Chains A and B, each alone.
Chain A
Amino acid sequence: MVGTNSLYGPLDPARDAGYPDAPARMGFFTDTSVCIGCKACEVACKEWNQVPGTGLDLLGMSFDNTGALTANSWRHVAFVEQPRPIGQQSSPFVDTPTGPSVSAAAAAIGAGTKVDTGTKPGVPPAIEPDSAAWMAAGPEFPGMPGSQPPGRTGSANGRTDVRWLMMSDVCKHCTHAACLDVCPTGSLFRTEFGTVVIQEDICNGCGYCIPACPYGVIDQREGDGRAWKCTLCYDRIGVGKTPACAQACPTESIQYGALDELRERAQRRVERLHAGGVVEARLYGDDPNDGVGGDGAFFLLLDEPEVYGLPPDPVVTTRDLPKMWRRAGLAAVTMAAAVLAAFIRRSP
């Protein structure tokens, strides 16, 4: 039933969407600290959901030849090569003839490649490749001893070490899902599991969900005309099976289960990593007080969200909708008043 937080703020989305006896909310916890970049998730998802293939393009984005989440790639494994800062260690490459890092420069080149996804808008090339260079220039640790400005990592001898970030991106199944809110046909709907699913028999390709998503997940398939995205394997979880990607993942980087249990597990994992010296580990999308009410699919990241292509502070557009309607109402009243005023003078 509709309540005070129906549009924004912490919420149980399934109950709000009309399922009084909803089961526990299900979701994903993707722990990128154990991802090995094998892409089994991408393939298993495509096999189960019979998603069309995409183009064969070498993108130069490290080992990422998919580019981003699209209507034809519902799981996307991101790769970022960065120099690893030295801190207090000695460089593993002392006395080897290495020069400065090239991760940033290579990333800037990869930023310009064309990605043939068979979808719109797909993955357009970068407008500012410099932002790619900064993404790949190394992690920042504000306040940490030995932290360096981007691009200037390690000793003057040259390269330090490399770290290779890998992350399996997916639809976030937000608590407050803008795509769902704006869908005019009811094609997008909230399931009893709290997930957000597109009904392919209803979608008429109006495209409104596409610019509404703050994460840039949803996309339109060319030729087909409809919008497509991860369904959290609604057909599988409905019969008690595990989503295809989570089942395939060899390292259990992708974990599927009840969302509050996943959040607890994730919190313990972050604490363990911090205790082990991996201070850059942080959770993303786990907080019910964030701009989308917390994600049904949340992540453990090892750098800032924008390095992985995630928005730093996403807010569901529906938060401001009541204010928008009020403003429109004001403008509408102004219109009516203007018409009356224009006609009120007695005609000559």
Chain B
Amino acid sequence: MGVRTWISGWPVYRQLTGTDPLGRGAAAKSGRSMALTARTETADSMARSVCPYCAVGCGQRVYVKDGQVSQIEGDPDSPISRGRLCPKGAASKNLVTSELRQQKVQYRRPWSERKAYVWWDEQHGEWTGHDVPDFEKTKAPGYRPPAEAKGTAALAGDDAFIMQGDGKAWLYVPTGLIDGPLPAHYEPAESPMRNALYGQQANPTRKAYQRPDNQLNPSPPEPHSEVFPYVFAIGRLTEHHTAGGMSRNVQYLSELQPTMFVEVSPELAAERDLHHLGWAHLVTLRSAIEARVLVTDRITPLRVDGRVLHQVWLPYHWGGQGLTRGDSTNDLFGIVLDPNVLIQESKVGTCDIRPGRRPTGPALRGYIADYQQRAGVRPQRQSPIVTTDSYREG
């Protein structure tokens, strides 16, 4: 570069000879700034896609440069999202390009020979493969049931949708609702309150797995429900996604909500000696989890049926892996399923809450055993499903 070019590029010279004598604007602009452009303009290609996170399906534009994703942002042409994204969608580029990602894709395309996990072995007349076929082992894929067939014989050789009794995926339910069709108020399977409308406390058709390791907290009319006097409700944070696998591994999302926490009312904090930013642990008959405490006015105690009922709130995004780790809220729940679609009832339950961190290892089991004893629960106990008899007696 000649001396002249160098001097004419020198901001002091431009200050003296140009429109910006104070050197605050045009004179101070560097060559890099003059050539600046958005990297979306210089990308090799752009694909329209849909956000990988939740079910809303916001449109995204994925820009690619040199074989790498260089930017992911909202697609203004999407009628659903008009170019906007929540923080998770906005973090998609980091999710996709993260070093923490598995590099080997586990995606299997249907009918791909190379990626089959189970297949029909014609020679031996059975389903076989790398995985265990969850299907009748010797039913050929070409089998079509005769008209009068009953039971499993009525399932065709490719009716493999095991979620439904007829092996087929259903778009709607014409008949066969186990529970319904009219709504009724039932308390949750675990509740500190007696059902005020019916003698039947909770859904009598619910699927309960009565096992020693799946005890439900005692609920009225069972005795000792006061051992777990508080209600916990769980929900989402906007910064994280479901169980956290796609957000607790992403730096930009983890730093926005970096810790598992529990929100309690000031009244409960006073009652249980909980401190803002201190530790607390919640206990049910299954397990105990720990969380940092946020004491907030947004949580209020309720007056229900003449007594005070405290509630707490937990996010359910944490687990043992990732940039941010914490106890999993689901450890508090037992397995109780709704009878129609077998979805776990895992949004509310009863619990106890205590200050400090929870015990670990064998001590944790001992701690739970202690609660079981106080709740009068023996390992072989079966939670009552039908409660109307006891109500009549009471």
Contacts and interface: CB of A to CB of B under 8 A. Distances in A.
Given A159-B297, A248-B74, A96 B37 contact: no
Contacts of A244: 73
Q: Chain A's interface: helix, strand, loop or mixed, by majority?
A: loop
A44 B269 CA distance: 37
Given A102-B296, A186-B28, A250-B86, A56 B323 contact: yes
Contacts of B300: 93, 96, 98, 159
Interface residues on B, range: 35 or more
A56 B238 CA distance: 17
Interface string A72-97: 00000000010100000000010111
A18 B294 contact: no
A161 B2 CA distance: 71
A106 B259 contact: no
Given A97-B301, A97-B303, A248 B85 contact: yes
Contacts of A233: 38
Q: Which of B25, B33, B76, B265 has the most A CB atoms < 10 Å from its CB?
A: B25
B340 to A, nearest CB: 33
B73 A43 contact: no
A16 B19 CA distance: 8
A313 B148 CA distance: 85
Contacts of B83: 242, 247
Given A44-B73, A97-B267, A56 B296 contact: no
Contact of A60 (B32, B81, B89, B294): B294
A247 B74 contact: yes
A243 B17 CA distance: 33
Interface in A182-198: 186-191, 197
Contact of A42 (B20, B30, B256, B265): B256
Contacts of B101: none
A46 B276 CA distance: 30
Contact of A57 (B73, B258, B323): B258
Interface stretch (B191-199, B202-210, B246-254, B364-372): B246-254
Interface residues on A, range: 35 or more
Contacts of B76: 247
A48 interface: yes
Interface in A1-30: 1-2, 6, 13-14, 16-20
B215 interface: no
Contacts of B74: 247-248
Contact of A43 (B36, B87, B292): B87
A202 interface: yes
A162 interface: yes
Interface string B265-304: 1110110000011000000000000001011111011110
A16 B176 CA distance: 76
Contact of A47 (B41, B72, B257): B72
B26 A250 contact: no
B23 to A, nearest CB: 6
A106 B73 contact: no
Please give me the 6 A-B residue pairs with the lowest Cβ-Cβ distance, nearest first. Answer: A17-B25, A18-B20, A186-B28, A18-B26, A56-B258, A53-B251
Interface of B: 11, 18-30, 32-33, 36-41, 71-74, 76, 81, 83-87, 89-91, 93-94, 238-239, 251-259, 261, 265-267, 269-270, 276-277, 292, 294-298, 300-303, 308, 323-324
Given A16-B25, A96-B300, 8 more contacts: A58-B277, A63-B257, A66-B256, A97-B303, A235-B37, A239-B41, A248-B90, A250-B85
Interface of A: 1-2, 6, 13-14, 16-20, 36-40, 42-44, 46-48, 53-58, 60, 62-63, 65-66, 81, 83, 93, 95-103, 105-106, 109-110, 113, 159, 162, 164, 180-181, 186-191, 197, 199, 201-202, 233-236, 238-239, 241-242, 244, 247-250
8 contacts: A18-B18, A39-B256, A98-B267, A186-B30, A201-B30, A238-B36, A244-B73, A248-B85
